[in-house]
């Protein structure tokens, strides 16, 4: 059995896989005070030994803690996902540091559909990522996620209340709460539809759209864009990369 750990800005996801089939997936807050303790509780439940493990992180301050917990349950050294090994797409067009989460989602999407494709990750930040017909990562867009946007309004205004996104929201709100939700949910969906359409127009051809992230179930029902919803896209990317380790890719 193999193990994948995704250290995100808001959550840490722990997933198992046996013969490339994803098994159980757990989730804890990445802001909890006892990350090590909660990870130990999860890993202690595993019924089979861990042969190989891989970690992806966008919170470097948690890397050491997670590594040492995982190492104590694994028969080999955990590896940190890096573009230097195991990735099949061409990322040379991108300047500067590319978030490993974005790359992993694209690697997984490449297993689900033929390029070109767009990957939308509706997480703490919302990202839109384009891979062209030659399997080149062309870049994308980053903007505040659904929950982050709502939290920013509540935290930076005197009278707007905190609300949690939900899918059953009218387009035209009849009170402040509904207006906030309409802006967050319908506003995001409308933006995604328009942005994806303009991406295909600029590329000169259309392709598939793959969607993931914690807010995906809330936003996807309101999209006009046909899409593939894959909640475990990032961990699938982790296992895809892990399976290539040692192959010289």
Cα–Cα dist 187/23, whole Å:
35
One-character DSSP codes across the chain:
-EEEEEE-SSEEEEEEEETTEEEEEEEEETT-S-HHHHHHHHHTT-SS-B-EEEEEES-GGGHHHHHHHHHHHBSS--EE-BTTBS--SB-TTS-SPPPHHHHHHHHHHHHHSPSSEEEEEESSEEEEEEE-TTSBEEEEEEEE-HHHHHHHHHHH-SSPPP----S---SS-SSHHHHHHHHHHHHHHHHHHHHHHHHHHHHTS--EEEEESTTHHHHGGG--S--EE-TTHHHHHHHHHHHHTTTT-
Given the residues 6, 90, 101, 121, select the one marked as catalytic: 101
Cα–Cα dist 116/208, whole Å:
7
Active site residue 101: yes
Two tokens, residue 247: 């192959």
Catalytic residues: 101
């Amino acid at each position: 059995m193999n193990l994948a750990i995704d250290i995100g800005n808001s959550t840490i996801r722990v997933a198992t896989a046996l013969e490339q089939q994803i098994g159980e997936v757990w989730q804890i807050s990445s802001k909890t005070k006892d990350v090590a303790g909660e990870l130990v509780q999860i890993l202690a439940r595993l019924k089979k030994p861990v042969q190989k493990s891989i970690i992806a992180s966008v919170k470097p301050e948690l890397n050491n803690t997670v590594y040492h917990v995982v190492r104590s349950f694994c028969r080999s050294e955990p590896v940190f996902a890096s573009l230097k090994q195991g990735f099949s797409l061409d990322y040379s067009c991108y300047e500067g540091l590319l978030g490993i989460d974005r790359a992993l989602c694209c690697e997984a999407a490449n297993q689900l559909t033929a390029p070109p494709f767009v990957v939308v990750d509706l997480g703490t930040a919302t990202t839109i990522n384009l891979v062209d017909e030659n399997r080149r990562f062309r870049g994308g867009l980053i903007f505040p996620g659904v929950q982050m946007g709502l939290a920013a309004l509540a935290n930076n205004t005197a009278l707007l209340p905190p609300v949690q996104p939900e899918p059953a929201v009218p387009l035209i709100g009849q009170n402040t709460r509904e207006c906030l939700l309409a802006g967050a949910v319908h506003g995001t969906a409308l933006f995604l539809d328009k942005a994806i359409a303009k991406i295909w127009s600029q590329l000169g051809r259309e392709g598939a759209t793959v969607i993931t992230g914690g807010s995906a179930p809330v936003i996807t029902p309101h999209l006009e864009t046909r899409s593939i919803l894959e909640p475990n896209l990032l961990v699938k990317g982790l296992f895809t990369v892990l399976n290539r380790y040692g192959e010289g890719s």
